[in-house]
Amino acid sequence: MHGHITKYTNKILRDRTAVPDSIRFYVLDDRIVTNRDDEWLPVFNEVFNHLNITALLFAKTSLSFADILVGRTDSASKKLVPKDSETKIFLHDIPFIREREWVKKPKAELAAMIVCCLKDRKAVIIQNLGVVATGGLTVEQAFISYSTVFHTTFVKYLLDLLMEGYKLPDERKHFDDFKNSWLKLPDLRDLNFSPGPLEGSAEWASQIEKRERISNEICRVGRYTIEKGYVDSFFGNISYFDGKTIYISQTASSLDELKGHIDPVPLDNSSTAGLSASSELPAHRGIYISSNYHAILHGHPKFSVIMSMFCEEVDCHIEDCNRFCNRRRSVCGIPIVAGETGAGGLAKSVPLAIKGTGVCIAYGHGIFSAGEKDFQEAFTKMAEAEDKCREGYFEILKKNDRRDRGARHL
């Protein structure tokens, strides 16, 4: 159990999503196993007593965006309702406890408030204290819940800031700290890709060797997507097509741990291997059928998600934009498409949008990028698209800020 705690603590530190000395894991075995035996143990012991969970993570996010979002909401609100795909699919919404509700209260009362929030949700924000995230069965689930809260509050805050500007007294300082200290451009100079075609020539000794070569490259590139910040937890997928078979990551698999979690799916559906494949298999298959691409990456880089959801259309009555937006939109020259995941609309819209340039953005759902021979081209396209979206974000924010400052001086 301590090994799992150490593993996911290291992942949090790698992702820079929590203040290091705030990370507390609690796991229910024959007793509660924890990495921190302190005053919070009685609180979460009470939480375990009232919830059907086996793992819990309590940590303070390294960015203050979740706390600021709580402060920006209406005083009667009890939850955040982001509209990115990770929230819609995994969290639905995020309950929160305001600082005024917990400060100076006995910890027993705080435990009761936490239990109330977590009865039908996987995580709760406690303003200016931290995030409590749960796992029904595993430590990994608690880690995923926490990572998802970090991702979705990052996306929601930066999107709200773009559309509404600063609202609270200290927001600008917190944002400047984020921009100047936390935000770092990924260094891609240490990446190595196997040149395609990965299936090799007809003289290859065996089918087993070919599959091993393809699988090893998928594992390596999948790990790159997380290490360089283009995928959070398991929200991404990767595949390679050898002309007959699509090798694709399994659903709910972590892209930095893909060994043993890659499905070979025949293009003609002659086997049941696709049953455990990523839910995005239909989109991958559609791309391969309609183009010359052989490698596909899908991830949720934060700025591409933000910019796909930034829309200045005022006369629009579409409520579920990620599924039903029918406008021709683009950001920084990259097409934006809408549609449901799985066999829904994305299976049709993504292959059409990606065919020309090998890259597109799904509304609130991140980047699909493709390479004709190998993953280097697909990875480069994803990195370049995210770079463009990040630059575009700060350009618009700067323009809006100048406009707002000018309006205040009138």
| 335 preceded by a cis bond (ω within 30 of 0) | no
Residue whose pair of structure tokens reads 């204290």 in the numeric block = 129
Structure tokens at 300: 């949720």
**Residue pLDDT, tens place only, 209-266:** 888 999 999 999 999 999 999 987 668 999 999 999 999 999 889 999 999 999 999 9
Residue 312 has a pLDDT of: 72
Residue 396 has a pLDDT of: 94
Checking if the pLDDT of 311 tops 70, the result is: yes
Q: Are strands 359-362 and 334-337 parallel, antiparallel or unpaired?
A: parallel
Checking if the pLDDT of 407 tops 80, the result is: no
**Residue pLDDT, tens place only, 27-41:** 998 889 898 888 899
Average pLDDT (346-368) is 93
**Residue pLDDT, tens place only, 371-381:** 999 999 999 99
HSE-up (13 A, CA, CB side) for residue 202: 0
Domain with CATH 3.40.225.10 in the chain: 2-182, 207-398
According to DSSP, residue 67 is labeled: H
Which superfamily, per CATH, for 2-182? Class II aldolase/adducin N-terminal domain (3.40.225.10)
Q: pLDDT over 90 for what percent of the chain?
A: 72
Checking if the pLDDT of 409 tops 50, the result is: no
What is the three-class DSSP state of 19? coil
CATH class of the structural domain 207-398:
alpha beta
- In order of 25, 233, 364, the CA distances from 273 in angstroms are 36, 23, 29
pTM for the structure as a whole: 0.93
Phi-psi region of 339 (alpha: psi -120 to 50; beta: other; left: phi over 0): left
Checking if the pLDDT of 138 tops 50, the result is: yes
